[in-house]
Amino acid sequence: MSVESKNPETIALHAGHRADPTTGAVAVPIYQTTSYQFQNTEHASNLFALKELGNIYTRIMNPTCDALEQRVTALEGGVAALAVASGQAASAMAIQNLARSGDNIVSSTDLYGGTWNLFANTLKDQGIEVRFVDPSDPQNFANATDERTRAYYAETLPNPKLSVFPIKEVADIGRPLGIPLIMDNTAAPILCRPFDHGAAVIVYSTTKYIGGHGTSIGGLIVDSGTFEWDAIPERQPALNTPDPSYHGAVWSEAVKPLGPIAYIIKARVTLLRDLGAAMSPFNAFQFIQGLETLPLRMRAHCENAIKVADYLKGHDKVEKVIFAGLQEGEAKRRSETYLKGGFGGLLGFEIKGGKEAGAAFINALELFYHVANIGDARSLAIHPATTTHSQLTAEEQIASGVSDSYVRLSIGIEHIDDIIADLEQALAKA
């Protein structure tokens, strides 16, 4: 039995799994197995040849991961997803699935520090050039494009600037050129559905809001199914030329009978097969638990964050509050266009007194945890210049919006009075 609904609250509880077919278990079971008994040799051979889809080996697929993949696919309005070991693995594979040595992608400068490093150094070492552009003008993506550009990449609600990305504007530049937009939607699940605005692929660090309880590292790649990979075949050679690693399959053709899933199937049966960054079934189970209350939690994060922004705005030790709900002009329009139901739980502020005041504030916090994480149900704080963004050069830090006096908060779902009381006492000591 399946439940049809357009509402995220219902989808998050029911999509992808109703009851276990053999036991009737309502909670998604943890299928802690490496491999799966084939019915006979023909069945085994059909699975390997992708004539039918089914379980082969847990590095490539697993029923617990499958329930998570189906549930997030339903929430995003896509066609299929792939669970991987971390958000970093999701970003890397989303690009490696299209770009090969000698190719390039164009990315927003406004990125998580780890993604920046992946792009500026590791992908570069692999021969994939990442061209960083300022996202405030979408035309910058067009200007940086050449015949070997394979994808555009950005984050929906990038911290620390918290200025929402112009999704439709950049997707519209890419589509006629055969270039897909890959959106990292980690900071804005439920609030934004990037496929509704033309994005072709979504990546998540499920470690954050989807998990929500700070227990597990994981990532997801979601395929919209709406991108025509063979519209300009020479633009996407990885999907339109024979793949020697899968007996010459041309991915845009090979899986057509199974649906518009060429991109995500290729990622699963070649990259995940070869690189092996699979999500464990136990972690998938944890993410499913998180997902079931995600719409409720996002609402609570958003409500608390607005109140914290209002409180900090009026505080005499605060120079400036950075929050998606406090943007002006074009940035305000983007916040209101792309985020629905709130402005997210992330918020930053510039503290008067610079680095020393920032450190004193963080050291004085009692309720907030001082951790390198976002999106937990608990409230979190960090000083990016000395932690998450410390491996960037001074210029790179400025380009990504990190200053010495910037403090980042990830507002949790505790009672708002307790959150504000902790900020109040810590600011008094800063």
Question: Applying CB under 6 A, which residues contact ligand PLP?
Answer: 86-88, 112, 114-115, 155, 184, 186-187, 205, 207, 217, 219, 374
The nearest distance, CB 82 to ligand PLP, in angstroms, is: 14
Residue 273, classed as helix, strand or coil, is helix
Give 105's strand partners: 130
Give yes or no for a contact between 106 and 81, defined as CB atoms under 8 angstroms apart. no
- Residue closer to ligand PLP (CB basis): 260 or 384: 384
How far is residue 178 from each of residues 77, 155, 226, 255, measured CA to CA in Å? 21, 20, 12, 19
Q: Are strands 219-223 and 104-108 parallel, antiparallel or unpaired?
A: unpaired
DSSP per-residue letters across 58-117? TTT--HHHHHHHHHHHHHHT-SEEEEES-HHHHHHHHHHTT--TT-EEEEES---HHHHH
CA-CA-CA-CA dihedral for 219, 225, 228, 234, to nearest 10 = 30
If the CB atoms of residues 55 and 387 are measured against ligand PLP, the closer one turns out to be: 387
Of 231 and 399, CB closest to ligand PLP:
399
Rg (CA), the chain: 22
First and final CA of the chain: distance in angstroms?
57
Closer of 107 and 252 to ligand PLP (Cβ): 107
Q: Say which DSSP state 122 is in.
A: I
Tell me how crowded residue 53 is: count the other CB atoms within 10 A of its CB. 17
Dmax (CA) of the chain: 73
Count of other CB atoms within 10 angstroms of residue 34: 9
User: 3-class DSSP state for residue 250?
Assistant: coil
For ligand PLP, give the closer residue by CB, 261 or 288. 288
Shortest distance in whole angstroms from residue 151 CB to ligand PLP: 16
In the complex, minimum distance from the CB of residue 152 to ligand PLP, in angstroms, rounded to a whole number: 16
CB of 244 to ligand PLP, least distance (A): 30
Q: How far is the CB of 226 from ligand PLP (least distance, A)?
A: 23
235 HSE (CA, 13 A, CB side): 20
Tell me the closest approach of the beta carbon of residue 90 to ligand PLP, in angstroms.
Answer: 7
Report the run of H or E that residue 395 belongs to, with start and end. helix 394-399
CB 98 within 8 A of CB 237: no
Minimum CB separation of residue 117 from ligand PLP in Å reads: 11
Cα–Cα distance between 353 and 349 in angstroms, integer? 12
Rank residues 171 and 182 by Cβ distance to ligand PLP and give the closer one: 182
| Residue placing its CB nearer to ligand PLP in the complex, 86 or 327 | 86
User: Cβ of residue 414: shortest distance to ligand PLP, in angstroms?
Assistant: 21
Cβ proximity to ligand PLP, 187 vs 254, nearer residue:
187
Shortest Å, Cβ 169 to ligand PLP: 20
CB closest to ligand PLP, residue no: 87
